[in-house]
Structure 1
Amino acid sequence: MAETLNGKIAAVTGAASGIGLATTEALIAAGATVVMVDRDERALGEITARLGDRAIAQTTDLLDTESCAQMVPEILAKTGRIDILHCNAGTYIGGDLTESDTATIDRMLTLNVNVVMKNVRDVIPHMIERGSGDIVVTASVAGHMPIQWEPVYSGSKWAITCFVQTMRRQLNKHGIRVGQVSPGPVISALLADWPPERLQAAKDSGSLIEPSEVSDAVVYMLTRSRNVTIRDMIVLPTNFDI
């Protein structure tokens, strides 16, 4: 039997756009209240005004060490609990390794890997104390295979796949489910680094999916009965070929 999300409190990082926004909207439609975490304060204000009382803005710069460390305490001060944490914020680098400067590599690895680990670490004591919780991480199909045109991005997602699956084993005895959703290419700002001809070819061939198709998978994962964990859901465009 499916679990209800009515009354649940969720926190979604990178919530002002793309998969994060789509997941926020889907969770609210399913009955949850969502704390929308993003650094774009203006966008959060506009979106929460549109979505209503069950959308709560949380302005956090995950790349700032202190701001990142305060994220979970500030959410708990607003809501009292966190039932669901969706670590979704991330960035993308494509192309040959020599085409990426080291500062950009550092930024991406910090956001895609370190921040996820820190956010999960910070929410664990709260969820263990309550004896329940769900942690979902936006990974990628790139975390399952070496994709030659995005070595830095693929490397970050391989790291996250390992982290998610080790944490799943650590936390399941505490009543906390940990899983990941691994999309193929999604129509979003993260594909801005793709060569224009490749992006257009992917659009023309139907090799991209919408953020809402990823959020559908997240809601499915969260609504399974508590004796079921979806450890990883790979969501691909039907015509995606790698």
Structure 2
Amino acid sequence: MASTVLITGASEGIGKATALQFAREGYDLVLAARHADRLEAAADEVRLLGRSALAVPTDVTDSVQVSALIHKALEQFGKIDVLINNAGLYISGPADKFSLEDWHSCLDLNLWGYIHTIHALLPHFIERGTGTIVNISSIGGKVPIAYLVPYSTSKYAVTGLTEALHGELAPKGIHVCGIYPNIIKSNFLERAIFRGTDEQDTQARHDQVKQVLSVPVVEKPEDVAKAVWDGVKNKRAEVIVGSANMSKAAYSLLPGVMQWVFRRTFALKDNKVSR
């Protein structure tokens, strides 16, 4: 019987690339995301590779929907071997410009979405005495980045969640791995949240990220997918992807300088900040 992997945020970007990577490695897929049409299209691509795919439209911020997702997956395949938490939201702007709703949007998806799937699936892993949990975080979960405060908060929380689970679950036969990429060339901008001192500043923040994504050397979803496969295959506790290694090393050596660089890069019209 083939191994089965469940991936959230699987309709596009990193999630879809990871689904195709695991399909090529012989896994059957359970794909979860909010947009049913895109999700089914991703499932069709998996099937073209000769693997079974179950597409379950799911909002992972809703624990009831997540429980239904796990039930349908187990009903279809009988077991889940790997959980890959990937659904996420990018949010950028001055800390004082975010509403509490913005904070909740970020944390509910980036953190609670991961907690919901782990909470629902962990009893299955413990009962079987085996399983793998992969949490796709960000270099923002290793390096604190000014003007990405809610995002970095959520990713640091995912780092803590991942590392604590790794320590606790390893003796129970369950492997936990964190994946830490830098910014990735994908279409995350269509659902990202940008806030600024005014409309012009807000648009400038959007355009700034869009410009970064146009640079040819920016890593692609397929680079993260390969890192996920490496983490699962070789049971790595963490995989830092490509250029994120340089970011982590630079911050470790010169934290003050790197904080200054982030402030200067992302402050834009927030002129109250000392540069």
Same fold? TM cut 0.5: yes
Identical pairs, percent: 28
Q: Deviations over 1:132-183 (max 9, x none)?
A: 1111000110001110120110000001100111011111111110011010
Q: Is the 8 A contact 1:185 1:236 kept in 2?
A: no
Q: Unaligned 5+ residue runs, structure 1? A: 1-5
Q: Is the 8 A contact 1:168 1:179 kept in 2?
A: yes
Q: Which has the larger radius of gyration?
A: 2
For 1:233 and 1:67, the matched residues in 2 are separated by: 30
* Partner secondary structure for residue 214 of structure 2: helix
For 1:238 and 1:115, the matched residues in 2 are separated by: 24
1:133/1:48 Cα in 2 relative to 1: closer, same or farther (>3 Å)? Answer: same
For 1:71 and 1:84, the matched residues in 2 are separated by: 14
TM-score computed with the length of structure 1 as normaliser = 0.89
1:201/1:167 Cα in 2 relative to 1: closer, same or farther (>3 Å)? Answer: closer
Matches within 5 A, 1:203-242: 203-204=214-215, 206=217, 208-224=218-234, 229-237=235-243
Aligned to 2:36: 41
Equivalent of residue 199 in structure 1, options 178, 190, 210: 210
Q: Is the 8 A contact 1:143 1:160 kept in 2?
A: yes
- RMSD over aligned Cα, in angstroms? 2.0
1:116/1:201 Cα in 2 relative to 1: closer, same or farther (>3 Å)? Answer: closer
Aligned to 1:119: 117
Equivalent of residue 18 in structure 2, options 3, 14, 23: 23
Q: Deviations over 1:31-90 (max 9, x none)?
A: 101111112111122222232142221121212332123221221111110000001111
| Greater share of helix | 2
* Partner secondary structure for residue 91 of structure 2: coil
Q: Deviations over 1:69-121 (max 9, x none)?
A: 32212211111100000011111101112232221210110111112112112
1:212/1:195 Cα in 2 relative to 1: closer, same or farther (>3 Å)? Answer: same
Q: Is the 8 A contact 1:185 1:237 kept in 2?
A: no
For 2:244 and 2:170, the matched residues in 1 are separated by: 33
Aligned to 1:50: 45
Q: Is the 8 A contact 2:182 2:244 kept in 1?
A: no
Q: Does 1:146 align with 2:178?
A: no
Aligned to 1:63: 61
Equivalent of residue 95 in structure 2, options 97, 106, 117: 97
Question: Bigger shift: 163-172 or 230-239?
Answer: 230-239
1:47/1:105 Cα in 2 relative to 1: closer, same or farther (>3 Å)? Answer: same
How many residues are treated as equivalent by the alignment? 232
1:51/1:202 Cα in 2 relative to 1: closer, same or farther (>3 Å)? Answer: closer
Aligned to 2:172: 174
For 1:175 and 1:236, the matched residues in 2 are separated by: 29
